[in-house]
Amino acid sequence: MNRKLLKIAVPNAISLASMGCGLASVTMAAVGRFEAAAWLIIYSCFLDKADGAAARALDAGSDFGVQMDSFSDFTAFGIAPAALMWFLGPAVGLPEGWSGFAAASFPFTASIRLARFNVAGHEDKEFFTGVPTTFAAGLLAATVLTFRDLALLPAWANALPPVMILLAVLMVSPIRIPKLKGRDNRALNAIQIAAALAGLVVTVLRTLPEVLLALGLGYLVIGIAAGARSPSPGPQPTDPPGN
């Protein structure tokens, strides 16, 4: 295998690993192992960030890699969350129609978002347009894990479908959210690194999903506020999912 092919293979292998976690999540949800299904979605979120980082570090970006990333994202962040809601809903007493409608919202809006990116010719380097599929799926999984950890199910089960539908709408909304990337502000960079490390630690240990939920909600609220204050450079297509 030549050096160039090896460089391209690394980020694509990570994308396949993310897809594998998404498929495993579907399987876990189908057999009623909802906690495992949700954690597998979280794993996919970290792998999705890793494939982009690997592609940039190796200078191995390619059109093929973009398409692989899209297929992986649709599986892990469109299909897997839908399966989690579809199987979890009846188990916690939700009407099948209501939980099914919420479940369908994710693959529908994720496919629209990903297709919009695939046909776009440029991107905003500083902001996401709409909530990334990676973030939406991770926040949903963190919500489910937190509800289970705090013994809020089935009492609060009715809150899950509206949360899922809201996140689905945000994926294709025009709101702008700053990308998580290196900044000139050292304090901001330190906060981003600390938050990423905290999220990674609780994910590896599979504990305290409340930390993931708090980090996600903080990023969403602060990000929306920052995007609203920042002048828009004009109409922008959907940004690369998870980047």
3-state secondary structure the chain: CCHHHHHHHHHHHHHHHHHHHHHHHHHHHHCCCHHHHHHHHHHHHHHHHHHHHHHHHCCCCCHHHHHHHHHHHHHHHHHHHHHHHHHHHHHCCCCHHHHHHHHHHHHHHHHHHHHHHHCCCCCCCCEEECCCHHHHHHHHHHHHHHHHHCCCCCCCHHHHHHHHHHHHHHHCCCCEEECCCCCCCHHHHHHHHHHHHHHHHHHHHCCCHHHHHHHHHHHHHHHHHHHHHCCCCCCCCCCCCCC
Region 114-138 average pLDDT = 87
Residue 45: inside a domain: yes
Inside any domain, residue 242 = no
In this prediction, residue 234 carries a pLDDT of: 52
- 121 pLDDT higher than 80: no
Quote the pLDDT of residue 182. Answer: 82
Flag the least confident range among 153-167, 179-193, 194-208, 223-237: 223-237
What integer is the mean pLDDT of 128-145?
Answer: 97
Confidence of residue 122 (pLDDT cuts 50, 70, 90): low
Residue 233 binned pLDDT confidence (cut-offs 50, 70, 90): low
Greater model confidence, 120 or 43? 43
- What are the tokens at 72? 């992986």
CATH number, domain with residue 101? 1.20.120.1760
The answer as to whether 154 is a domain residue is yes
In a domain, 67, yes or no: yes
Domain encompassing residue 118: 3-229
Between 53 and 149, where is the model more confident? Answer: 149
Determine the average pLDDT of the residues in 193-208.
96
Token pair of 209, please?
A: 């999903």
pLDDT for 240: 43
Handedness of CA 162, 168, 174, 177 (dihedral sign): positive
> Burial level of 67, CB count in 10 A (0-12/13-18/19+)?
middle
> Is residue 241 in a domain?
no
Confidence of residue 217 (pLDDT cuts 50, 70, 90): very high
Q: Taking the alpha carbons of 75, 223, 43, 151 in that order, is the dihedral positive or negative?
A: negative
Is position 243 within any domain?
Answer: no
Q: Is residue 183 part of a domain?
A: yes
Residue 193 has pLDDT above 50, yes or no: yes
pLDDT confidence tier of residue 236, bands split at 50, 70 and 90: very low
The structure tokens 């991770």 sit at: 138
Summarised one tens digit per residue, pLDDT across range 48-105 is 999 988 888 888 888 888 899 999 999 999 999 999 999 999 999 999 999 999 999 9
Q: Is residue 124 part of a domain?
A: yes
**Is residue 183 over pLDDT 70?**
yes
**Which pTM was predicted?**
0.92
Question: What residues contact residue 6 under an 8 Å CB cut-off, 6+ apart?
Answer: none
Q: How many domains does the chain have?
A: 1
